Structure 1
Amino acid sequence: MQGLTLSWLAERNAYKFPDKEAIVMTPVDGGRTAITNDTFDKRINQVANGLQNRGIERGDKVAVYTTNSIPTLETYLGAMRIGALPVPVNHRFQAEEVQYVLEDSDAELLLFDDHAAEIVDKIHDEPTVPDETLFYGTDRPDYADDYVDFREQSGTNSVEIASSRVDEAMLMYTSGTTGDPKGCLLTHDNIIQMTVNGIVEKALEGRDVNVDGRGLIVTPLFHIAAFGMFVNNYYAGATTVLMDGFEPNRVMDVIEEEAVTSGFFVPMMARALLAVDDFDEYDLSAFEEFGIGAAPSGRELKETISEAFDADLQEAFGQTEMSPTTTFLQPNQALEHPDSVGKPVLNVLLKVIDPKTREVVEPGEIGQVCYRGPTMFNGYHGMSEKTDEVFDEEGFFVSGDLVRQDEDGFVEFVGRADNMIITGGENVYPAEIEETLHEHPAVDEVAIVGAPDDTWGERIKAAIVPVDGQEPSAEELQAYVGDRLADYKKPREFVFIESLPRNPTGKVLKSPLEQEEGQLVGWES
């Protein structure tokens, strides 16, 4: 082995912390299953041997279409141990989307579970679905072999084949908000360097890495952010507390019962946790770090979280192509810079460029953010032209995100380049308006889109999900924005809906909102 690989972490932890809990599975519907580091390492070897027995070789792809579970992680690391690449499949995908990923990745084997069985039943005879299929769950179909039998019938001898830290470790697909998902090739070093960045960032602020920590993961492991959190825990020798979904009351119970020390939540989840009945009755004394990200969160939410959980609040920002974290907002910065996603992490170089000229913009100006560093992916699987398009002449990855960076280095996310609205000749960035409306006490969720307009080119349209029991008016919300932002940034059209449309990854889909008929207000201005 040349350098540190992800699967070697299991061997190391089994040697150094054999009896410590590696993973504690706490399903949403109740129950608890725990395995030690020693057991986890043995199971990884069993999976690796079993895959080899099925003809899986170095470089082959192993698709994993499951909700969060211990077998999910066993299969990820078992495949990595023999140099194969796990391919996490979004467990919210429907049949056509699953087939796309299986075909695009050239998967040689598929693991699926009860949650995915209905979809796989529809497509298992299709040529895109691998002949080798394993099932984990309670009602196994005839065409699939039982995962537990597959694992238990295999040997526990070590079979580490991934010889280098720069070997490709996994094929992780993007969320596909603006087209088909793209498969990002990530190396062992990409992902481990992401973890090293996080450890160093904590050390720079004088915070200790908690070797005895218990990190909660409720977001799905098919996403690099959740898998990255597992690696963070595992690298430090800490325990991962895993859930297969999000139910606010159950999450609060698990935080208390498992003495959870850290967790990561999107803003929607954070609001739901804060709204749990009898919140103040929970024992949160062990909870030290509340991570937030994936969507805008303003000062009010950050202040409420910090006070309610009495924990360090930290925010991360990034994308799959960067493994994923690129910027980090430290706890001592979160309330001083609530609209920021922090500064670039230690081993990520960042520049902001004009999308047209490709020249670096001045501090405070909005531009397209670009990154370079050891966490940068190897390229898109099977898409060499697209890969060439996203790298500039200096080797920077050119993302589709628009940001502004101030003179102190703090980065503020202002939106996706393809979501920018041009109204009356002015560029408007939805994230800024969304953050402002999120602060209104009657607004639960909001999405800003552009609607065609004969006079202005585009008008700003707000889709609002009100807080239960609240009925804010369009005029009230427009005035709220107008008191805080420039007049041209005020929404002129409002749609009130029960929920925002989302893709299978949970990201808001804005194109359907453009078709919704809304209420025009304040148009005379």
Structure 2
Amino acid sequence: MRFNHATLFAAVAAAMPDRDAIVFRDRRLSYGDVAGRVNALANVLAEHGIGIDAERADLQPWETGQDLVALYLLNGNEYLEGMLGSAAARAASFNVNYRYVEAELAYLLDDAGAKAVIYHARFAPTLGAILDELRQRPVLLLQVADESGNELLPGALDYEAALAAASTAAPDTSPDPDDLYVVYTGGTTGMPKGVLWTQAEILLSSIAAFMPAGLFEVDTLDEAVELIEAGPARVVLPTPPLMHAAAQWVALAGILSGGSVVFPAVVDRLDAKAIWDVIDGEGVMLMNMVGNSFATPLMDEFDRGGRSGKTVQMMGTGGAILSAPVKQRILDALPHLAIADVAGSSETGSQLSNISMSTAPATSGVFAAAPGSCVVDDDHEQILEPGDPRSGWLGRWGAIPLGYLGDAEKTARTFPTIGDKRIAIPGDRARHLADGGIELLGRDSVTINSGGEKIYAEEVEEALIVHPGIADVVVVGRPSDRWGSEVVAVVAVADGHDPSDDELRADIEPRLARYKLPKDFVRVDKVLRSPAGKADYRWAKDIALTTPSPDTSHSENKELVP
């Protein structure tokens, strides 16, 4: 069976109205409570003419016949209500990076043609500054009150007041499994792009693993709900911002499977104390995070004492490196849990996984493939067999997106047909190993071509991050007269450490070919990452470009030839 998110949620809520659905600060909202709020929001949207204009079957893959609703929000109940309420109205929500400056926000809202914006009051000044510059001003602004105390923007409605005045009855719509789920890419290596999925396909691609076994084989919605009722009521914590796709997938997995989605009291920054408070206070079973940048402060807080973590069954991570030593640190402290290192993208969903447990040494870099995952040759002409020594493009067929919003050319390029399979190829490099595993090499957009050799930034980052003197690192290329481009590591040094460049090179030399070793190390107080923990390669490149290249003609670097 194929599912629409709003329809599945409504059925689950009707079957278990008293079960906790969302817990955030002083709010403990039952499934019945959330269903009423979702319906009210859908009715508010419908009253403003926001919904669907054309069915999926009548559209090209890069087109949307649904109005788009921008979620310009921090984590909280309003984010999930915005996703489900939009789906119930047959509109489609999309994520907004709340760190964007005015020009970036204007680009995003214009690119999406946003008909509505649901936003926290703290973001009102930035939104208000660009409204008159947009090609099409949104017809509805819903402002969520917060501690900023900012007044309503002109023409905006207070979110809670609007919901209170609206009917909580189900809207007069017929949501379809082919209605859109839209996620914008992060834009850390280029302009953000709107990826168009059907709701049914994103469930199969990225959420199915967290749903009851057999859910997609049933024939009716009632049978699906029976399976969900019979399953465990898990407590789920999406730690990264919900503007990050992987956090949305974990949250949707929780609320569509009858679980409770919980949030820490502090959501505008990573607050390890607040996260542990909610883990132990609510009995979190499943959580996700983003690599070392999340895991290290969480474990630092755990080591201070007074924390349990005994209920956590699985920690998921993705979007940035979680190094093997940090994995092992978690497993040494919490040997009962499993760590799921998940790789994927907005264009492929959860594509690869590496499960670490205390019964075996933690590893990193090689993954088990999800159904449909494959490696495609450089020319996009064939799927490489396991054991083929060539590297290629990481791809996925089966449950994949329709395309990119408004971009037929990029849709055709990223989603080619090879043989009888339409394949998503977003730009990661990989190698298919003989045992069926996939070695992830790195994203092509941050690949460094030095002396005629391709060097994958993530590969160098993973080799460096295991050094105890490095707290965080991003690797980029910098123009070089000698090499064309040279490898530069932008590093934040760990407290109490001061490793020299030579020490760092010596440490990674056994793990990397010499031509991959950084020619320079640029030290910064903190590596800039998005709130979702993803590296900002544009920032790192600017840092590298403004730091003079070392004179390599009289140093040992002269030996670092390909």
| TM-score, structure 1 as length reference | 0.91
Match of 1:55 among 45, 49, 52: 49
Match of 2:144 among 122, 126, 136: 136
Residue of structure 2 in register with 1:427 after alignment: 454
1:446, 1:273 → 2: CA distance?
A: 18
Match of 1:187 among 182, 194, 198: 198
Distance 1:158 1:202, change over 3 A: closer
* Aligned-partner residue type, residue 91 of structure 2: A
CA RMSD of aligned residues (A): 2.4
* 1:80-129 deviation line (CA, Å, top 9, x unaligned): 01211112211111111111121111111111112312211312333443
CA shift, 1:152, in A, is 0.7
Q: Would you say 1:148 and 2:174 are equivalent positions?
A: no
Q: Is the 8 A contact 2:367 2:440 kept in 1?
A: no
Number of matched pairs: 510
Match of 1:418 among 434, 442, 445: 445
Residue of structure 1 in register with 2:57 after alignment: none
CA shift, 1:330, in A, is 2.9
* 1:156-198 deviation line (CA, Å, top 9, x unaligned): 1112624421222x32111123321111112110222135541
Summarize the alignment of residues 75-94 of structure 1 with structure 2, pairs less than 5 Å apart: 75-94=82-101
2:95, 2:103 → 1: CA distance?
A: 16
* 1:476-512 deviation line (CA, Å, top 9, x unaligned): 0011111332222221211111122345754322421
* 1:271-328 deviation line (CA, Å, top 9, x unaligned): 1111126544212211111111111223211111112223111111111122x21112
Q: Is the 8 A contact 2:501 2:521 kept in 1?
A: yes
CA shift, 1:335, in A, is 5.1
Residue of structure 2 in register with 1:65 after alignment: 72
Q: Is the 8 A contact 1:442 1:470 kept in 2?
A: yes
1:201, 1:54 → 2: CA distance?
A: 37
Residue of structure 1 in register with 2:169 after alignment: 157
Deviates more, 1:264-273 or 1:175-184: 175-184
- The alignment partner of 2:242 has SS state of coil
Match of 1:99 among 96, 102, 106: 106
Residue of structure 1 in register with 2:372 after alignment: 349
- The alignment partner of 2:186 has SS state of coil
Q: Would you say 1:33 and 2:27 are equivalent positions?
A: yes
Residue of structure 2 in register with 1:378 after alignment: 402
CA shift, 1:139, in A, is 3.1
Summarize the alignment of residues 326-341 of structure 1 with structure 2, pairs less than 5 Å apart: 326-331=351-356, 338-340=363-365
Residue of structure 1 in register with 2:520 after alignment: 493
Q: Is the 8 A contact 2:211 2:253 kept in 1?
A: no
* Aligned-partner residue type, residue 491 of structure 1: P
CA shift, 1:62, in A, is 1.4
- The alignment partner of 2:187 has SS state of coil
Q: Is the 8 A contact 1:263 1:291 kept in 2?
A: yes
Q: Is the 8 A contact 1:19 1:36 kept in 2?
A: yes
- The alignment partner of 1:444 has SS state of strand
Q: Would you say 1:118 and 2:125 are equivalent positions?
A: yes
Residue of structure 2 in register with 1:17 after alignment: 16
Distance 1:126 1:484, change over 3 A: closer
Q: Is the 8 A contact 1:419 1:430 kept in 2?
A: yes
Q: Is the 8 A contact 2:403 2:415 kept in 1?
A: no
Q: Is the 8 A contact 1:66 1:115 kept in 2?
A: no
* Aligned-partner residue type, residue 349 of structure 1: G
2:29, 2:433 → 1: CA distance?
A: 46
Residue of structure 1 in register with 2:7 after alignment: 8
CA shift, 1:210, in A, is 6.5
Residue of structure 1 in register with 2:339 after alignment: 313
- The alignment partner of 1:403 has SS state of strand
Residue of structure 1 in register with 2:287 after alignment: 263
Distance 1:392 1:297, change over 3 A: same
Q: Would you say 1:438 and 2:465 are equivalent positions?
A: yes
2:253, 2:477 → 1: CA distance?
A: 39
Q: Which runs of 5+ in 1 are unaligned?
A: 27-31
Q: Would you say 1:463 and 2:490 are equivalent positions?
A: yes
CA shift, 1:342, in A, is 2.2
- The alignment partner of 1:321 has SS state of coil
